[in-house]
Each structure stands twice: as structure tokens, then as C-alpha cells.
Amino acid sequence: MCLGVPGQIIEIQPDLGAVADIDGNQVTISVALLPEVEIGDYVLIHAGFAMEIIDLQLAIETKQLLQEFQELNK
Amino acid sequence: MNSNVFQLMEQIKNEKINCSLMEVCGTHTMAIAKSGIRGILPDNIRLLTGPGCPVCVTSQADIDAVIELSCHPDVILVTFGDMMRVPGSKGSLQEARSQGADIRIVYSPLETLEIASENPQRQVVFLGIGFETTAPTVAATVQRADQLKLKNLSVYSVHKLVPPVLRAIFTDKMVQVDGLICPGHVSVVTGIYPFAELAVQFQKPMVITGFDPEDILQGIALLIGQLKSGEAKAELQYRRAVRPEGNPTARQLLTQVFEPVDALWRGLGAIPASGLNFNIHYRDYDARRRFQIEVGNETEIPGCSCGAVLSGKLEPDQCPLFGNACTPIQPVGPCMVSQEGACAATYRYQLLRR
Amino acid sequence: MKHSHILLAHGSGGRLSQQLIEEMFVSSFDKHAVPRELNDGAVLALPPGKVVMSTDSFVISPLFFPGGDIGKLAVSGTVNDLVACGSRPLYLSTAFILEEGFSLDSLRRIVQSMADTARLAGVELVTGDTKVVEKGSVDQIFINTAGIGVVPDGVVYQPGRINAGDRVLVTGTIGDHGLTILAEREGFKFNTPVTSDCAPLHEIGQSLQPFGEKVHCMRDPTRGGLATVLNELAVQAGLGIQVEEERIPILDAVRSACNMLGMDPLYMANEGKMVIICEPGISEKVLSTLRSIDVSKNATDIGEVISQPAGMVLIKTALGIERILTALEGEHVPRIC
């Protein structure tokens, strides 16, 4: 019910808008649900809206698990 | 719990515990199918698809009503792509479009604002599907429409809430579910509390899980861990995105725009206070009101067991239509429509095992 | 020409039609300094060998996109189909259906693009047709191209020649064209650094000819994407195909944009890529040959042909688990779920 991807806020726009960078793609989104967001924050993006700020440290920890596995398999 | 993914997979593969875990959320069903996790689970651990899938639980009567609306020459029906192939009693939105209905697919509900302002002479109706993650985005869109004084936009809301349907499933004595893989993004909005409440009330372990393969494996491992130790609580695996208190701004928007209403869930029947429709302040945006739509009755498809599958009462291959009258190419019910729906996924995995 | 837009009269066969044909088409397409006689058809000389013919129609919108346009696509598309059949593309016909009111400037750009692409691919545009229809009957311009090529000795590309044990190669990154077009659509605004891979692949055909019968089959993964083409090949060969997810080359920007939209790069269209199936013994040499050409510099071995399960495609996921990779059913659309 809820596809969400991480993106980094690179610009804040008037009227609760923002531009997020997702691996080079620049996407115009709404921050109506997360007005406190700042440039540099990583956010979860769903249906064109920023839903929540992503804790990068925790994100890295989870990714490390998969990387460990891939190393093991090589 | 082991932090090494490979060992985690081995651990799960070798678990002897007999249990049925429900993936509540449609996105989890997709992610699980895509990552291949279904293929490594031993026969004693069953993954059931749950009711958190808008494709599966939007009532046939609502789809029929929306299709009829889309056939008005004045109406532009706007929808998320998910709903295009879902069968109503007389065909799908995709078929209606091929016969001339103006139906447009969007990624974000915000796109309806542009469609409405560029087509002032026509009525733009947005099919509002989704749960607590998506409903706030529609609420925000409607508030923006109000600011912009867009009079030709309305929403046919079939938004639904997760905790009430979980309550209904657990209350049903016929249901065999031992633990829940809870929706990660619904929890971004709701926070952990509603699931904690359910865990205590029904004594079922719940883990709020993310959508990457390693998240899902951790989620399954945590559930098995609780089952083995006899615990029943709500745990947060998806800590990087979910705050325990959720997103209060999003919840506030929901309260400003919507109110809980009784809702009809396909295959599950009516569940009180399980849906969202516009409250008194925003009722002008209610498409049912604007077009005076009377939703007809749910037509039972003889033999279709989607309701039982969605509530964990039946496995896909126990449905009489499975594999003969109902296949991914010719789906009868919603569980076979989505490529990764429970029945579609089972169908393909069975083909592989043969 | 005095007019700036297409009129119905341009399609009526009279003076304006003639003018359009000569000033717009013949002058761009004709490679001879002296104009050919304009007959009902073109009489052509063919070198010896089996003749391949292919046709395709192009109705893409938008007409102009990063990396190409409908004209480049119309030539490349048919050239690539001829290449996939093992032939050297030689001649193309082209038919235009133009909407009344279509901009002549746009038409000029498209025609020039076709001429440039044809020149690049070493094919000649030898005959054509133009029709003009009332406003609203087509979306600006539809183009059909049909092409003829000749198959050199020793080359036979057919699903029937595929054997278990063959390697499955792809000539570069997947999903680029599909994503570029998606980003150009009205509605949700996103800017992507990705551009269409639209290109004629005649060089691939030429470079693989020396491998002769050791290359068994080629196909371009256009609509429906890589997954659909692999399924077609598996069904037509009566064998299975097994690929590894991690080996399929996909640009990060394509992967992420697809994640956001709920779409899958494996179902996105490609207009400048080939799937190549060849004997295992030559696959390394084939890869290094491909990588020396610009259009296939990212060629990769992504998997192999297996005997069972016949007619199906399996994909080994990032976790090392196998799952079924189905062909596209219905439309490939953005999802929220």
C-alpha cells in the first residue's frame, strides 16, 4: 500500500514544496506532511510527498547486512 | 538475532516452528515476491497475504460505481496505476478506457490539481485508494485544491484504515494467523501504538518491517523469536524511517479533512469505522455526494474465495477457481490480478516447483 | 515552401503534395546527387543471400526527447529488427501519416533526423508515402518504416538454434529509453540525467558476423522490456532462461526512479540494445568485441539457457534466491503499492 523511496532535499520551494535528489533524478515534491524538513535531510518519499526524515546511520547499518552477505557469496 | 543476513536466511530455513505469518501490506507482498524470500521458507512457515492491499480490498460495488462515473463525457477519472486491471462485476478501468472513458494514471494525487485547472469545463474525479500512508497525501491535495478554489475536483474515497481490519481478522475464529509483518509505511504515519494495542489485546506478535529484503528477513526472524519465547508485542524493525510516535502532522491532516466511516472490504464484508470519507468541512469534495452516487450491491462471484484468502482463512490453491477459471492471464478475483498478489504468486511458484 | 503547417492539401496528391515530397523528403533522403525518378516504387539491386524484411510503426509521444526523436526511432527500430534477424540492413521505405496543422518545422527536424540516422546506419531510404488526415485523427505524426536486409553466409539467428548451455548477453544498460519517456510525460515533475539509448545497431550485426553460426539468436528488448523478450525467447526455443539480477546492468538513476514510481526497469523499453544468445565457448570473445563498439560498451553476460523449466525465465535475486521473472501482463504503470 505504500511504496516509499529515500531522497535528499536539495532545495526548499515556496508553498510547502521542495526538490529532492534521488540518485541524480531531481523530483519536485510536497513537504506539507513534513514542513520542518531542511536542505540536506534524507526523506522517505511516497506519492510525491515527503513522509518522514530517514535516520541515515540506521539506514547504513541495515544496508551493511546485505553487503556482508554479498561479500560472503563472492 | 544474528546480524549476518546469510546466517539469518539459514536460520529461517531451518526453523521447525509451525506458524502462519501474515504480510498485512500489499507492498510487502510485492517485495517478498520480488526478493524471492517465498522460495526459501520451509513448508512449516507459511506466508499469508493480508488485507492491506488496495487492489484486493476495494469493493466490487465501488469499482463498478467508479467505472460508471468514468463513462460520463464530462468526467476525467484520475487514478493510481494499481487499480487499472482490478475486475468489477462487469470489467475493469482498463477495459472502460479502451471503450472511450477518459481515465488517467498518476503517480501523485497532486497531479490532479493541474488536470483540474487545465480542464475547467470538466469534472476531475480522483479515485482515492490507500491506507494511512496515502490518505494524508490526498487530504493535503484537497486542502490545496480548496486554497486554489478548484471547484471541478472531487475524490471518490475508498481509503481504509489498518487497525480495524486487523481487529476484525483476529476476532474471526476461523482465522489462523500467528503473527503479523506490519506495514512499514502506514506506521510512519500511525506510529507503533495502534499495533502495540492489538498485540496486547489479541496476544499476537507484530513487527513493523521495512521493505528491503534484509528488512523482511529481520522481520520474519523477530516474529519467530517472539513466537518461540511466547512473547506478544509490537516491535519496530524499520527504525530508520518510523518514529515510535509516527507523524503527527499527517495525522492532523487526516482529522482536518476526513472522518472514520463504515467501509465495505471486498471479500471481508462491512467493517465499522474502517474507512475514511470527507468530514463536514470538506464534504463538497466527496464525489459520491457531488454525483449522488448510490453504490450497488456486492456481486458474489461463485467460487471466488478472495475474501477467505485475504483474511488468512484459505490458501490460494484451496480456492476452487485457482488455476483453472482463475489464472494470472484471466483473473477472476483481485488476488490473481496483481502480478504479485497471493494467488498470482502461488500460481507461479507452483509452476516452478513442478 | 510558403506554409508553416501541414494542410489537408499536402496529402491530396496535387501540387502541394509534390512540393512536400520533393522539398522535404527527396532532398533529405536521396543519397544520389541526381534525383532518382519518382516512380510508384523503387527498383533495387540486392547482393546474394537470403532477404529479410521487417516493418514497424512509430507513434511515440513526445516526438522529441533527450537522446532522440520519432525520426531517429523510426529508422533505428527497423534497422535493429533487420540486424536481429542476422541481416545487413540495406533499404528502408517510410510512410507518414500527418495530422492537419502539424508544424512543418517539426517535420523538417524529424526528416533530417531520419536522414542522419539512415546515413549513420548505411541504409538508403528509397520509397515512401504521405497521407494527411483531419485534425484529431492522429496525434501529430505517425511513421511506418519497412526495411530490407540480406543475410550473409553462415549467419542464422533463430530461437530454434538456441541450446541449453548457451550464454545470454545484453549489450548495455536496461531501461534508459523507457525512463526518459516517462520523465517527459505531463504530470509528475521529475528531471532525470538519463537519456534515451535510441540508436541503430548495425555495427553490432557487422562485428558479430565473423562468429557465424556460433551466435544463435538476437532480439531487441523494446516494448515490454528485457523480461518480456527473455520470456518470448524461452517460449519460442522451448527452453528455460536463468539470469542473475545483480549482473543486469542498470543505471542507478533508472533503478531509483523506478523504485519511486513502483515500476521495474526489466519491463521498460530499450531502443538501442540487443539480447544476444551464443555458444558458451565464444561468449568472452563476443563480449570483448561488443565492448569495443560505442553502442555496446557496457555489454554483459547476464545468464544462461537451461533445459528446465521450459518456456520460463528464472531470475536469481540479490539474496541468491531464484524466482520467476514473468513477461509483462497488461500495461506497465506507476503504482503506489
Helix (H) or strand (E) holding B344: helix B342-353
Q: What is the DSSP string of C220-284?
A: ---TTHHHHHHHHHHHHHTSEEEEEGGGS---HHHHHHHHHHT--GGGS--SS--EEEE-GGGHH
- For residues C121-147, give the mean pLDDT: 95
Averaged pLDDT score across all residues of chain B? 91
Residue C210 belongs to what domain range?
A: 159-324
- Which residues of chain C does A73 touch, with a Cβ-Cβ cutoff of 8 Å? 320
User: Under an 8 Å CB criterion, which residues of B touch C?
Assistant: 5, 9, 26-27, 30, 33-40, 53-55, 80-82, 84-85, 94, 105-108, 110-111, 114-115, 129-130, 134, 213, 217, 328-329, 338-339, 348-349, 351-352, 354
Do residues B287 and B310 both lie within one domain?
Answer: no
Query: With 0-12 CB in 10 A as exposed, 13-18 as middle and 19+ as buried, what is B220?
Result: buried
Report the candidate in C253, C335, C186, C297 with the shortest Cα–Cα distance to residue B79: C335
Do residues B31 and B158 both lie within one domain?
Answer: yes
Is C287 within the bounds of a domain?
yes
Does residue B52 surpass a pLDDT of 90?
Answer: no
Locate the chain B residue with the closest alpha carbon to A4.
B185
Q: How far is CA C187 from the centre of its chain?
A: 26
Contact: A3, C192; criterion CB under 8 Å:
no
Residue C35, CA distances (Å) to B165, C118, C126, C147 in order:
75, 17, 11, 21
Do residues B172 and B37 both lie within one domain?
Answer: yes
- Which residues of chain B does A61 touch, with a Cβ-Cβ cutoff of 8 Å? 240
- For residues C116-131, give the mean pLDDT: 94
In the sheet where C141-151 sits, what is the strand order?
Answer: C50-58, C141-151, C88-99, C124-133
Which grid coordinates are listed for A41?
535531510
Which of A22, A24, A73 is the closest to C260 by Cβ? A22
Contact: C326, B339; criterion CB under 8 Å:
yes
CATH number at B48 reads 3.40.50.11740
- Terminal Cα-to-Cα distance of chain A (whole angstroms): 35
Is C172 within the bounds of a domain?
yes
Which grid coordinates are listed for B84?
487499472
Contact C43, C163 (CB under 8 A): no
- For residues B324-350, give the mean pLDDT: 80
Give the model confidence (pLDDT) of C212-233 as tens digits: 999 999 999 999 999 999 999 9
Number of neighbours of residue C293 by Cβ within 10 angstroms? 15
Do residues C24 and C121 both lie within one domain?
Answer: yes
CATH number at A58 reads 2.30.30.140
**pTM over 0.90, yes/no:** yes
Is C337 within the bounds of a domain?
no
Contact: C322, B55; criterion CB under 8 Å:
no
Do residues B260 and B340 both lie within one domain?
Answer: no
Contact: C330, B36; criterion CB under 8 Å:
no
Give the model confidence (pLDDT) of B64-83 as tens digits: 999 999 999 999 999 999 99
> What one-letter code names the amino acid at C317?
T
| Local structure of residue C294 (DSSP, 8 states) | G
Contact: A23, C252; criterion CB under 8 Å:
yes
Beta-carbon contacts of residue B231 (< 8 Å; ≥ 6 apart): B205, B225
In the sheet where C300-306 sits, what is the strand order?
Answer: C215-219, C275-278, C167-170, C300-306, C240-244, C313-316, C322-324
Contact: A23, C191; criterion CB under 8 Å:
no
Contact: B183, A58; criterion CB under 8 Å:
no
Report the candidate in B96, B67, B64, B93 with the shortest Cα–Cα distance to residue B80: B93
Does residue B91 surpass a pLDDT of 60?
Answer: yes
Lowest mean pLDDT among B115-129, B302-316, C166-180: B302-316
Do residues B198 and B245 both lie within one domain?
Answer: yes
Overall domain count for chain C:
2
Dist CA B203 CA B128 (whole Å): 33
Q: Which of C151, C174, C191 is the last residue of a domain?
A: C151
Q: Confidence class of residue C148 from pLDDT cuts 50, 70 and 90?
A: very high
Do residues B337 and B294 both lie within one domain?
Answer: no
Overall domain count for chain B:
2
Dist CA C272 CA C220 (whole Å): 8
- For residues B210-226, give the mean pLDDT: 94
Query: With 0-12 CB in 10 A as exposed, 13-18 as middle and 19+ as buried, what is A36?
Result: exposed
Q: Measure in Å the smallest separation between the Cα of B84 and chain C Cα atoms.
A: 9
Averaged pLDDT score across all residues of chain C? 93
For the CA atoms of C115, C118, C124, C129, what is the dihedral angle to 10 degrees? -60
Residue A69 belongs to what domain range?
A: 5-73
CATH number at C189 reads 3.90.650.10
How high is the ipTM of this complex? 0.93
Cell 503534395 identifies what position?
Answer: C17
Do residues C31 and C180 both lie within one domain?
Answer: no
Dist CA A62 CA A68 (whole Å): 10
Dist CA C102 CA C107 (whole Å): 8
Report the candidate in B166, B113, B165 with the shortest Cα–Cα distance to residue B137: B113
Contact: C188, B9; criterion CB under 8 Å:
no
- Terminal Cα-to-Cα distance of chain B (whole angstroms): 34
- For residues C16-39, give the mean pLDDT: 69
Angle between helices B342-353 and B26-35 (to 10 degrees): 20
Locate the chain C residue with the closest alpha carbon to A25.
C192
Interface contact B54, partner A, CB < 8 A: yes
Do residues C108 and C34 both lie within one domain?
Answer: yes
Cell 560498451 identifies what position?
Answer: C297
Extract the runs of DSSP E, i.e. beta strands, from chain B: 19-25, 45-52, 75-80, 103-106, 123-128, 153-157, 179-183, 206-209, 234-236, 258-265, 269-278
Beta-carbon contacts of residue C81 (< 8 Å; ≥ 6 apart): C54, C56, C147, C220
Give the model confidence (pLDDT) of C31-58 as tens digits: 643 345 566 788 899 999 999 999 999 9
pLDDT of residue B176: 86
Q: What is the DSSP string of C164-217?
A: TT-EEEE-S-SSHHHHHHHHHSSSS-EE-S--------HHHHHHHGGGGGGEEE
Q: Confidence class of residue B1 from pLDDT cuts 50, 70 and 90?
A: very low
Do residues B207 and B231 both lie within one domain?
Answer: yes
Dist CA B138 CA C69 (whole Å): 36
Do residues C93 and C205 both lie within one domain?
Answer: no
Does residue C20 surpass a pLDDT of 90?
Answer: no
Alpha helices in B259-305 (DSSP H): 287-290
Do residues C130 and C182 both lie within one domain?
Answer: no
Interface contact A74, partner B, CB < 8 A: no
Interface contact A22, partner B, CB < 8 A: no
Q: Which residues of B227-240 are buried (b: 16+ CB within 10 A; e: fewer)?
A: beeeebebbbbbbb
∠ CA(B227), CA(B228), CA(B229), 5° rounding?
Answer: 95
Dist CA C272 CA A62 (whole Å): 36
Dist CA B233 CA B110 (whole Å): 37
Do residues B44 and B170 both lie within one domain?
Answer: yes
Do residues B12 and B105 both lie within one domain?
Answer: yes
Do residues B120 and B98 both lie within one domain?
Answer: yes
- Which residues of chain C does B352 touch, with a Cβ-Cβ cutoff of 8 Å? 309, 312, 314, 322, 324
pLDDT of residue C178: 97
How many CB pairs below 8 A link A and B? 121
Do residues C221 and C145 both lie within one domain?
Answer: no
Alpha helices in A1-74 (DSSP H): 56-73
Does residue A66 surpass a pLDDT of 70?
Answer: no
Do residues B287 and B320 both lie within one domain?
Answer: no
Overall domain count for chain A:
1
pLDDT of residue B234: 98
Beta-carbon contacts of residue A14 (< 8 Å; ≥ 6 apart): none
Does residue B194 surpass a pLDDT of 60?
Answer: yes
Which of B27, B38, B106 is the closest to C188 by Cβ? B106
Q: Which of C121, C151, C181 is the last residue of a domain?
A: C151
- For residues B193-220, give the mean pLDDT: 95
Residue B198 belongs to what domain range?
A: 1-303
Q: Confidence class of residue B48 from pLDDT cuts 50, 70 and 90?
A: confident
Give the model confidence (pLDDT) of B126-153 as tens digits: 999 999 999 999 999 999 999 999 999 9
Does residue B340 surpass a pLDDT of 90?
Answer: no
Higher pLDDT, B29 or B183: B183
Do residues B281 and B318 both lie within one domain?
Answer: no
Residue B324 dihedral angles phi and psi, to the nearest 5°: -115, -75
Does residue C309 surpass a pLDDT of 80?
Answer: yes
Lowest mean pLDDT among A47-61, B324-338, C181-195, C204-218: B324-338
Do residues C163 and C205 both lie within one domain?
Answer: yes
Across C3-17, C41-55, C184-198, C223-237, the highest mean pLDDT is recorded for C223-237
